[in-house]
Chains A and B, each alone.
Chain A
Amino acid sequence: MLNNQGRPTSPGATTSADKQTFTSNRALQLEEPLIFEIGRTTTTGIDIDAPAPFASRLGQHARKTGPGLPGLSEPEAMRHYVRLSQKNYSIDAGLYPLGSCTMKHNPRLNETMARLPGFADIHPLQPQSTVQGAIALMEELGRWLMELTGCPAVALSPKAGAHGEACGMMAIKAAIAARGEAATRTIVLAPDSAHGTNPATAAAVGFTVKPVPAGPDGNVHPDAVKALLGPDVAAIMLTNPNTCGLFEAHVKEIADAVHAAGAYFYGDGANFNAIVGKARPGDLGIDAMHINLHKTFSTPHGGGGPGAGPVVLSHRLAPYAPVPFMRREGERITLVEDAAGADAFGRMSAFHGQMGMFVRALAYMLSHGQDGLKQASEDAVLSANYIRATLSDLMSAPFGDRMCMHEALFDDEWLKGSGVTTLDFAKAMIDEGYHPMTMYFPLVVHGAMLIEPTESESKASLDLFIATLRDLAMSAKRGETERFVNAPALAPRRRLDETRAARNPVLRWTPPKSVAEAAE
C-alpha cells in the first residue's frame, strides 16, 4: 500500500512556464551533450574477444594510432539516442503537412517485411540462383509501377527522386545521341515552379535549362511551350500535379507539341500521390517519370532518407534503361548487369537499387490494392480541398477557388500589414504542436504556404488543425505579433541563428582548448 503520509493531494499553485531548472532539463525534455563530450575512446558497448596471435598481412599499412572515436556502453548509448529522438517531431506523433513531401502514415508491417532475413540479409552479388525470390519481388514491384503509370518499362536502381530524375534525363540524352542530335539538342525546359532538383539535374546531365512561364491560373500553357520548342530542345521537365497543387490541365496538348518537335517529356512524379488510380502519366504522354517510393508508397522518410526513385519509361526510352535490368526466361528471371551488347546508357549505382524500400513499397501496394490506392488518392485530394475550402475566407489562395489536388497553396497577401511573415506564422504552428507546412516554395508565389495533409488524417485531426490555423490567422490579423515573432517558445530550441551557422561554419566537434592542450 502507498504511504501517503505527508503527501499533498492537490496540485497546488500553478507554476510559470519560464521556470529555471538546475539541469536545464524541462521534465521530459532532456538536454543531451554530444557523444564526444560523454564518451571515452577506451569505452566500448560491444564485447568481442581479441584474436589468438597471428601473422598480420597488413604489411606497412597498419594504422599507428586509434582514430580517436569515443565509445559508450549500451545503456549509455540507448539513453543518448533516445533523448535525441525526443527532440524530433514525427508523423507518428502528429500531422506533418509538408507540401510536396507527402508525409503519410508508415505502416509497420512494411518494416517487419523489409527485415525478413530473406530480404535484409542477402548480398547483392551472391549467385542469382540463390536470390530468385528477391528478383521476383523486384519484378512484381515493377509490374505494379508500370500498371499504375501506364508505362511499358521501369528502371529500379535510382536511389532517390533526384537520382531518378538523373536516370530519366540520361535516358533522354542517350536517345538523342542515338538519333545523332547530341550536339544540337541541348536545351531543357522547366517551369519556374519546378523543384530545384529539376534544373539541378538537367545541368548535371549536361543540358542547359530554360524557364517556361506559367499562366495566371497556375498552369503551363501549350502556347508558352510551343514558343520555346525547336530543334535545340531536348526535353521538357514538368511536375504534374504541379508544385502549386494544381493538375496541369493542358498536359496532353503539351506532350503532343513536345513530341512533334522531336523532344521528350520528363514527368516529375513527386506529386503522384494525388492521381494514383485516377489517371496514368503514360496515357498523358510522358516519356519518363520518377516515382518517390518514400512519398507515394510510404517508405519512411527517416529524417532525410533513404528514399528510392524508380523511373518508368516509354517505349522510346526503354532501350536506354541503365543496368541492371531484369529479363525473364520462363520461370527464371535474370538481372542483367553487363551493359555490353545493349543500348543501356550505363549504370546509376553499384548494385540493384533500394531493395529495402522495394519491399516496403510492395507491402504498401499489396495492402491497399488497386482499390485502396485509388481511395488513398481520393482521400488525399479531398482532405487538401477541405483545408483549402475551410481556410480560404481568412487566408489568401493565389489561384482563387479552383479545386486543388493533394495540397492547398496559400500566399502571404493576407498577412500584409500585420507584422507577421510566413516564417513567423510557421514557427507559431510549432508552439501549437504542429510541424509547419512547406513555406516559401513554390518560388512563383510570394510567401508561399503549401499544405499537404495526405490521406492519413482523420476528420477530427483535420478539424483541429483547421481550427488551430484559423485561430492563428485571426490572431495575426488582430496584430498579436508577440505570438508569432518570438515563436517557437515551447520547442526544445528557440529560433536558431542560421546566419551565424553559415558565416562561421562549425561542421564537426573539436575538443575544447583546455582539453586539447592537456592532451599534448
Chain B
Amino acid sequence: MRYLPLTADDRADMLARIGAATVDDLFVDIPAAARLTQPLDLPRRKSELDVSRALSALAARNVAAGSVPFFCGAGAYKHHVPASVDHLIQRSEFLTAYTPYQPEISQGTLQALFEFQTQVATLTGMDVANASMYDGSTGCGEAVQMAHRVTRRRKAVLSGGLHPHYSEVVRTNSRMTGDAVVSMPADVRASEDIIAQIDKDTSCVVVQNPDAFGNLRDLSPIAEAAHAHGALLIAVFTEAVSLGALTPPGEMGADIVVGEGQSIGNALNFGGPYVGLFATRTKYLRQMPGRLCGETVDAEGRRGFVLTLSTREQHIRRDKATSNICTNSGLCALAFTIHMTLLGDAGLTRLAQVNHAHAVKLADMLDGVAGAEVLNATFFNEFTLRVKGDGASIIEKMAAAGVLGGVPASRLWPGAGLDDLILVASSEINTDDDRAAFVAALKAAL
C-alpha cells in the first residue's frame, strides 16, 4: 500500500521487539466477540489512477459554477480567487501543520492568524476578532450564546432578514439550552419593526446586513434601542466583499459581528469548508468563543505570537468553557488573509464597486423583463426578483437551459408563501454574455 512505509520484515522485527507473536496480540483488549474476523463489505485498495478516475466521474456529474452563467448567492458567493492564494495555502508547512500549540515552531501559522485577526477587526470596525469559527452560521449561534453570558439574559430576537439557516442554527442551540428565541417573519422589504420586540429580557438582537433578501439596513437605530434596554446588537453578514462598499457594523454600534468569510479566498465547495469571522468589543473579550492569537516576546526579547486567553477554552475550562470549539477553520482563514493582503484597501474597494456595478446592470436589465420585478430599493451584489410563476420551477428550467440563475426563496423559507421570489447574486465573474443568457433563459422559463 503506497501510503504505508512498513515492510513485512519491519513488522516482524517490531513484533519481536515488543514480544508479541502476531499483530492480533496487540488487540487483545478488544472483546473477542467484537473482533472482526472477516473483511468488511467494502472494496479493496485502488491505485491512484483508479481513484482519480472514480472521483472524476462523480465530479463530472455536477455542473460547475465556472462552466455556466452563474448567479447563485444566499450565503455563498463565487468570486475570482487569485492563483497565488491556493499555491500558498498548499505549502506543506501551512497545509500539514497542527494547531499551533508549540509556538516556537509554529510562528508562521501564528503570525498569519494575528494578521487575520487584525484584518477582520479592521474590516468590521470592531476592536478584536478571534482566529475563526467553522462558518458564519455556527459563528452566529456562538454569538447568541456569548450575548447570553454577557447580559445574563436568555432571549434572542432574530430579524426576518437573517439567513433562515442561520436562524435555524440559533433555534436548534436554544432548544437544547431552553433559551428563548423570537424569530421575526421573513422580511422581504426590510420593513419589520424589530425595535418593538426589544424588552428588558432581551439579550441580543440579531440583524443581517445586507439582509438575506439583499436589502441594505441601517443598524444604528437598532443598536441604540438595544443598548437602551441593556441588550447587545449582533450584526451578521454573509458576503464579506460587501464590507468594501458599506458602512462597517462597528460604526453602527454593533457589539458582536459575525460573518461568513468564504467569499474572500475560498471556493464554493458545495457549502464547506468555509470560515466564520467573529469580532467584538474589548470589554466582551473574556466571553468570546474560539482561539485567540496574541503578541508576546521570547526569552531573547524578540517579538513572537502565541495562542492566548485559553482559560476561556474547553481544553482548560472543560464544562465551564465559553464554547466547545476546538478545531476551527485555520487554512480557510489563511486563504482569507492572503486574498485580503493581495486586495488591500485599494483592491477591496474596487472589487466591491465592480460587484455592485454588475448587480445594478443586471437589475436594470431585469426590470425591463415582463413578468419579473426587482423588489429592492437598495442592494449590494444580490437582490430579490419577483417572478410570475413558481420560482423553483423557473430556476430548474433555467438550469436545464444552462443557466444557474439564483436561489428560489422557497428553498430557504419553505411554506412561507415566498414561492414567486428568487434571490439573484452577481459578481465580477459575470460578463455581458452571462447577463444576456440570464435574461433569455428567464424569459423562456417565465
Contact = CB atoms under 8 A, between A and B. Distances in A.
Contact of B97 (A39, A68, A199, A301): A301
A-B pairs, top 8 by smallest CB distance, nearest first, are A71-B344, A351-B271, A118-B59, A133-B61, A346-B172, A302-B331, A304-B330, A124-B271
Contacts of A315: none
Nearest to A323: B168
B30 A367 contact: no
Given A88-B97, A337-B411, A455-B3, 4 more contacts: A133-B62, A204-B323, A390-B17, A507-B293
A199 B321 CA distance: 9
Given A72-B344, A82-B91, A350 B169 contact: yes
Interface in B64-102: 64-67, 70, 72, 74-76, 78, 82, 84, 86, 88-102
Contact of B59 (A66, A82, A101, A116): A116
A450 interface: no
The residue in A43, A63, A67, A502 that gathers the most chain B C-beta atoms within 10 A of its C-beta is A67
Nearest to A441: B315
Nearest to B250: A67
Interface in A49-96: 49-52, 54-64, 66-72, 74, 77-78, 80-82, 84-93, 96
Contact of B360 (A54, A376, A381, A382): A54
B152 to A, nearest CB: 17
A282 to B, nearest CB: 10
A69 B343 contact: yes
Interface string B391-407: 00001100110001001
B198 interface: no
B287 interface: no
Contacts of B247: 61-64
A477 interface: no
Interface stretch (A4-12, A224-232, A411-419, A486-494): A486-494
A472 interface: no
A459 B177 CA distance: 50
Interface in A350-406: 350-357, 359, 362-363, 365-372, 374-376, 378-379, 381-383, 385-386, 388-390, 403, 405
Nearest to B88: A81
A105 B4 CA distance: 9
B59 A117 contact: yes
B24 to A, nearest CB: 9
A133 B61 CA distance: 5
A369 B127 CA distance: 50
Contact of B272 (A98, A353, A372): A353
A150 B378 CA distance: 53
Interface in A431-449: 435-436, 441
Nearest to B63: A130
Contacts of A476: none
Contacts of A458: 5-6, 10
B222 to A, nearest CB: 14
Interface stretch (B199-207, B225-233, B300-308, B434-442): B300-308
Contact of A103 (B4, B98, B168, B296): B98
Contacts of B354: 48-51
B58 A488 contact: no
**Size band of the interface chain B makes with A:** 35 or more
Nearest to A73: B342
A236 to B, nearest CB: 15
Interface in B84-128: 84, 86, 88-109, 111-112, 114-115, 117-119, 121-123, 125, 127-128
Contacts of A61: 209, 216-218, 246-247, 378
B324 A278 contact: no
A300 B96 contact: yes
Contacts of A85: 88, 91-94, 108
Given A51-B357, A304-B291, A379-B4, A366 B11 contact: no
B59 A71 contact: no
Nearest to B105: A89
Contact of A501 (B131, B308, B342): B308
B345 interface: yes
Greatest chain A CB density within 10 A among B88, B101, B270 is at B270
Contact of A162 (B54, B57, B95, B324): B324
B171 interface: yes
A384 to B, nearest CB: 9
A74 B342 contact: yes
A63 B165 contact: no
B298 A370 contact: no
Interface string A22-60: 000000000010111001111111101111101111111
A474 interface: no
A84 B107 contact: yes
B330 A385 contact: no
Contacts of B163: 350
A348 B172 contact: yes
Contacts of A124: 75-76, 268, 270-272
Given A87-B111, A376-B3, A379-B4, A58 B134 contact: no
Interface stretch (A165-173, A257-265, A512-520): A165-173
A129 interface: yes
A516 to B, nearest CB: 14
8 contacts: A91-B97, A127-B396, A131-B62, A161-B326, A165-B324, A204-B145, A337-B411, A354-B269
B164 to A, nearest CB: 9
A202 B6 contact: no
Interface string A322-351: 100000000000000111100001111111
A129 B395 CA distance: 11
A213 to B, nearest CB: 16
Nearest to A52: B357
Contacts of A275: 27, 30
B36 A279 contact: yes
Contacts of B138: 159, 163, 348-349
Given A51-B353, A130-B404, A352-B271, A496 B361 contact: no
B150 interface: no
Contact of B396 (A119, A129, A375, A500): A129
Contacts of A15: none
A307 interface: yes
A32 B272 CA distance: 32
Nearest to B74: A125
Contacts of B350: 44, 48, 50
Interface in B299-344: 299-300, 302, 304-306, 308-311, 313-321, 323-332, 334, 338, 340-344
Contact of B108 (A62, A88, A159, A340): A88
